[in-house]
Chain A
């Protein structure tokens, strides 16, 4: 049984870390981009961002004033039990979100879409989102918070098999050019691409590809991995950099996640996880241990399984 107080306390810490500490993988990716950037203004922007991350950590203030829309991805081992059950878990995550909004402080971004009611705590109808995943074996809970920026850099399109890879390239370019101009997407970004599924799952896959995979990680399907690298390269070859200025740093990495789709379609979504790629992760165990990390390690073989039954590989229980 995992303590609900420990879950809430850990969740509050994660909210703080996500808002303030840029994950190492993104930071290294941005440093590499800054090294090769030769556009005068783009280069200035990247250097300012690198300085900004340091200041955020030194001052313990949020790295960006727009602290995004905090959400939770929760994953559990198959043997996990939570004190108070799933209702207590959701209450703890909502409390942690509200407390951290006031504590860090974060910007209270969440409002009613029509009446613009603001509870000043990032909690409201459907907010924060809480999504779940499960892994075979183990008694632990992974708490992952992602504070993705909210307004620009995301799009969906229904493509068809006849559109092919060129259709994918076209929509990818359309998206990053449209949102890259004037830097609306706050690039260079981690670009997540969802392919297939249904419309809603396509959006979910693309968002998770952007937010739940680290820079340098490749899809386990070698051909998909190859397409990821190609799209990264393509994105960095449009002559545009940070803020839409002349440059070559648009994409820190490109991640693709696929889902089986209708036989007539090839759904595609594009998501940009910005210069403040905020995510923080901790695994909480029943014995009270808490292990912090920045890699959500969401897309395990089990999450990408394509068979009816799942036979657990011997190594799986240890790695999951």
Chain B
């Protein structure tokens, strides 16, 4: 390790108080205790678009929504085997999250890569919620050790094991990184801003490709040559 400083480490409940959330700063390392549930596009579609009844009492039982599909199986006797758990990229769920946060009362959204500060300010802040990012990404085995018990799986028949709603009791599960705070500040955007000058230097001398692509221009009247 070079001259790196160690970040601060904090234990947090999956039904956190507003005071506990207010304590958190961008870049803090968090370990979680309590019940969390997995919910990603399958659960959001089923709960919000198909209006299915959510099989948990939210946020009373849990205010922690994990964007995760575990490496898991259901044994023949109905018990569960859960090995590794890691997050999936959250930005794809922005479409459902405003309604989901309001409906579920989730205070912790846990996933990969975070959301934009615009998302945080628009619907995380009004709901008193923050974003925790997994680390790596790919600390699946470490997070797996933080599973005290797999309490239930819901909607696995409708959605398959990967998209099902898994309910997990965690004990010092982590590490997670605080990627947004109660004011809607964004850790990843802060880091991006610090890096932009170095990126510019790395590009020096390179030139745009001879044949452009739509996406590099949004004007469909543009020709893409030269």
Query: What residues make up the interface of A, taking CB atoms closer than 8 Å to B?
Result: 19, 34-45, 47-49, 51-53, 55-56, 59, 61-67, 102, 104-109, 111, 116-118, 120, 151-152, 157-160, 162-163, 166-167, 169-171, 173, 177, 181-184, 186, 234, 237-240, 242-246, 274-276
Contact = CB atoms under 8 A, between A and B. Distances in A.
Interface in B99-131: 112-114
Contact of A105 (B72, B177, B197): B72
A171 B207 CA distance: 9
Nearest to B145: A55
A106 B202 contact: no
Contacts of B207: 163, 166-167, 170
A63 to B, nearest CB: 5
Interface string B141-164: 111110000000000000111110
26 contacts: A35-B1, A38-B2, A40-B6, A41-B7, A44-B4, A44-B6, A48-B136, A48-B139, A59-B141, A64-B136, A65-B69, A65-B87, A66-B86, A105-B71, A105-B81, A105-B83, A107-B71, A107-B84, A107-B162, A118-B161, A118-B162, A163-B210, A167-B209, A167-B210, A169-B206, A170-B203
A195 to B, nearest CB: 14
Nearest to B9: A44
A64 B86 contact: yes
A183 B134 CA distance: 11
The number of chain B residues touching the other chain, given as a range, is: 35 or more
Nearest to B29: A44
Given A67-B71, A107-B69, A118-B161, A41 B191 contact: yes
Given A107-B69, A167-B209, A186-B137, A62 B84 contact: yes
Contacts of A43: 1-2, 4
A163 B206 CA distance: 9
A63 B177 contact: no
Nearest to B156: A120
Nearest to B6: A44
A201 B89 CA distance: 29
B210 A173 contact: no
Nearest to A235: B202
B68 interface: yes
A246 B199 CA distance: 11
A43 to B, nearest CB: 3
B53 interface: no
Contacts, number: 231
Nearest to A36: B2
A120 B175 CA distance: 28
Contacts of B72: 105, 107
Given A62-B71, A237-B202, A157 B209 contact: yes
Given A111-B160, A173-B203, A52 B140 contact: yes
B221 interface: no
Contacts of A35: 1-2
Contacts of A274: 137-138
Interface in B202-221: 202-203, 205-211, 213
B68 A65 contact: yes
A36 B2 CA distance: 5
A27 B143 CA distance: 20
B34 interface: no
Given A170-B207, A173-B203, 8 more contacts: A41-B177, A44-B29, A56-B140, A105-B83, A109-B69, A120-B160, A183-B112, A242-B136
Contacts of A120: 160-161
Contacts of A158: 211
A173 B204 CA distance: 11
A243 B85 contact: no
Contacts of B188: 181-182, 244
Nearest to A118: B160
Given A105-B73, A170-B207, A244-B192, A239 B136 contact: no
